Chain A
Amino acid sequence: MNPNLSRRRFIKAVIASGAAAATHAGMPSALAAGAADDATKGGVERLMSLNINGKIRRVDVLPQETLAYTLRYKLGLTGTKIGCNRGECGACTVLVDDIPNYSCSTLTHSVRSRGVLTVEGLQAPDGTLHPVQQAFIDELAPQCGFCTPGQAMAAVGLLKDNPNPTREQARQALSGNLCRCGAYDNYLNGVMRAAGGKA
């Protein structure tokens, strides 16, 4: 949590009441007053800063907006897929402070002041693929490829937490990601290869 935010009291902590959030976002006070009126009706769009793949992105976010929606439709980061949109498939998996989250079931406002990593942020600045991405290619893991960004993020999340997982631990870590093609073993081979073993 942002220490400044955690000390803010009541009205200030109320993000849907435009005044506080708008002030936070550096908007002129006249605009903020107008936003406060809107807030009581429930529908106000507001500016916030998000840390996505190490870059600070400024974006208007509705109070009820999900992270998957913000990423895909406001920031153009369409690598994150929306499959079920109900937290039941894993295609939308991103890392929030290095922990895998379903971005379809995470409010964008709950990740302010936290670090979000999406599949677009995996490769090195020079275009070199992340070891997990390369290992997925080497092991022919993706078939149709729709679940692949989610599988990759779950695998990266595992390796950040446990660089030397057993195959069973990898299986558990990727168990929240469905693959309709049924390429589970190939993904597991990829995770084990990326972890340093030879699959």
Chain B
Amino acid sequence: MASYDVMPDVQLYQPAEMDDALELADRFGRDGWILGGGQDTYGWLKDRAKHPKAMIDLNGIEALRGVRKSDDGIEIGAVTTLREIIRNETVNAEYELLALAAGRVASPQIRNVGTLGGNLSQDARCWYYRRGLACYRAGGNICYADSPQGMNREHAVFGASRCVAVSPSDTAIAMVALDATMVVQSVDGERLVPAERFFVGPATHITKMTSMRPGEILTAVRIPSTWAGARFYFEKVADRDVWDFALVSIAAAMQVDNGTIGDSRIVCGGVACTPHRLRDAEKALAGKSLSDETAEFVAPLASRGAKPLNYNHFKLPLLENLLRRAVRG
């Protein structure tokens, strides 16, 4: 497929008020493209793989920017850049897991403009899909990755359904671990979606990564104080430390008292189409100490039920090892 130096013809709207953005999103529906930092946008357009009629740039809307304290935790506007999140005092003091995750996204220049909302709503990185092929995710009826010759080293080991692409977002697993709530607005009003239900797998919506509908805009993320100051662990394994998406990543939030683990939320990226919670491990960890013995005890639970493809068996020991490292104390 040809690659182009220039962007295709597409309109650009830069509303300064939220109401105007919502009206535009409603008017354009499926033909509208909500623009944050644009780092998961321009490639699609330059490759002529997606064809929106208009980009609706949210960066001029001041209300969507910044980290605010709320009654119970914090609220982060959707166009807050990853750079701002990494440098934010409150985030670092109480929700360091998010700062660690945001700090591992792509490259410095991308973090400088990439937004939290954009990182959370980014599309799958399966190269067959990105190349504009008519696969299941693009509305077709074949999966090129899950075929005898398909290259699926980066693909899913859990939760595949026809499509085997994985969730590429580093901040998504932190959001599920922190039990965040997404604030989604449209001209019809506002709805609150728990992070776990915000991300959807191919069995639910094969052409979408999130539960967002045309005309809706992700405006903010609310993080409750439940996990503020908890013990956090974040690690992302990728081929290169910069740019590359996670082969496997882990975000863990654990309430630890005197070395003993209470409640925990442990979420992995790069292994399923959505952030993948290790619920069995979370249950098994309750009441255990942070130690090498605990690590050995829970590690096998991480890969239980996995269905690797031809080239991604290596993700299973990687997953188990990341869980070990998260709880070995």
Residues of A within 8 A of B (CB): 1, 5-10, 13-16, 39, 42-43, 62-66, 69, 82, 85-88, 90, 93, 99-102, 104-107, 109-110, 154, 172-173, 175-176
Q: Are B43 and A86 in contact (CB under 8 A)?
A: yes
Q: Are A102's CB and B11's CB within 8 A?
A: no
Determine which residue in B11, B20, B83, B109 has the highest number of CB atoms from chain A within 10 A of its CB, and name it. B109
- Closest beta carbon of chain B to A50's beta carbon, Å: 15
Query: Are the CB atoms of A13 and B14 closer together than 8 Å?
Result: yes
A195 to chain B, nearest CB (A): 17
Contact residue among B11, B24, B39, B243 (Cβ-Cβ distance under 8 Å from A63):
B11
Known contacts A16-B54, A99-B112, A172-B108; A10 and B17 CB within 8 A of each other: yes
B37 to chain A, nearest CB (A): 8
Complex contact A9–B16 (CB within 8 A): yes
Evaluate contact between A64 and B7: CB separation under 8 angstroms: yes
A82 touching B5, Cβ below 8 Å: yes
| Chain B: minimal CB distance from A67 (Å) | 11
Q: Report if B177 contacts A (CB, 8 A).
A: no
| A85–B6 CA distance with the chains assembled, in angstroms | 9
CB pair B108–A64 under 8 Å, yes or no, is: no
- Chain B residues 1-27 with CB under 8 Å of chain A are 5-17, 19-20, 23-24
CB interface residues, B 48-81, toward A, < 8 Å: 53-55, 57, 59-60, 62
**Set A62, A85, A100: member contacting B46, Cβ < 8 A:** A85
Given contacts A1-B60, A173-B108, contact A13 B38 (CB under 8 A): no
Contact residues in B for A175 (Cβ distance below 8 Å): 107-108, 241-242
**A39: chain B residues within 8 A (beta carbon):** 11
| Beta-carbon contact of A16 and B9 below 8 Å | no
CB of A176 within 8 A of CB of B16, answer: no
Q: Are A14 and B112 in contact (CB under 8 A)?
A: no
* B42 near A8: Cβ-Cβ < 8 Å: no
Q: How far is the CA of A87 from the CA of B42 in the complex (A)?
A: 9
- Is B113 an interface residue when CB atoms closer than 8 A count as contact? yes
CB-based contact B46/A86 at 8 Å: yes
- Chain A residues contacting B54 (CB-CB under 8 Å) are 16
The residue on B at minimum CB distance from A8 is B16
Separation of A42 and B55 alpha carbons in the complex (Å): 11
| B20 CB, min distance to chain A CBs, angstroms | 4
Chain B residue contacts of A7, Cβ below 8 A:
16
Known: A1-B62, A10-B17, A10-B23. Is A16-B109 also a contact (CB below 8 A)? no
Which A residue's beta carbon lies closest to that of B59?
Answer: A110
The chain A residue sitting closest to B53, CB to CB, is A42
8 Å CB contact of B13 from A14, A43, A101 = A14
* Set B13, B43, B46, B241: member contacting A15, Cβ < 8 A: B13
- Given the complex, which residues of A lie within 8 Å of B7, measured CB to CB? 62, 64-66, 69
- The residue that A43 contacts in the complex, of B9, B15, B45, with Cβ under 8 A, is B9
CB distance from B234 to the nearest CB of A (A): 17
B212 interface contact, C-beta 8 A: no
Q: Which 7 A-B pairs have the closest CB atoms?
A: A176-B107, A63-B12, A64-B7, A16-B11, A176-B109, A176-B108, A10-B20
In the complex, what's the smallest C-beta–C-beta distance from B4 to chain A, in angstroms? 9
Q: What residues of chain A lie closer than 8 Å to B43, measured between beta carbons?
A: 86-87
Looking at the assembled complex, report how far the CB atom of A19 sits from the nearest CB atom of chain B, in whole angstroms: 13
Q: Determine if A64 and B9 form an interchain contact, defined as CB atoms under 8 angstroms apart.
A: yes
- Minimal beta-carbon separation of B50 from chain A (angstroms): 13
CB distance from A139 to the nearest CB of B (A): 21
30 contacts between A and B (CB under 8 A): A1-B16, A1-B60, A13-B14, A13-B16, A13-B17, A14-B13, A39-B11, A42-B53, A43-B9, A64-B7, A64-B8, A64-B10, A64-B12, A65-B6, A86-B42, A87-B39, A87-B42, A87-B43, A100-B108, A100-B112, A102-B109, A105-B38, A106-B38, A109-B57, A110-B59, A154-B109, A173-B108, A176-B106, A176-B108, A176-B242
Chain B residue at minimum C-beta to C-beta distance from A69: B6
Task: Report the separation of the CA atoms of residues A123 and B106 in the bound assembly, to the nearest whole angstrom.
Answer: 30
Chain A, Cβ-Cβ closest to B112: A99
Contact A101 B109 (CB under 8 A): yes
Given contacts A102-B109, A106-B113, 20 further A-B contacts (CB under 8 A): A1-B60, A6-B62, A10-B20, A14-B24, A16-B11, A62-B7, A63-B12, A64-B8, A64-B45, A65-B7, A66-B7, A66-B42, A86-B42, A86-B43, A87-B42, A101-B113, A106-B38, A107-B38, A110-B59, A176-B108
| B306 touches A (CB below 8 Å) | no
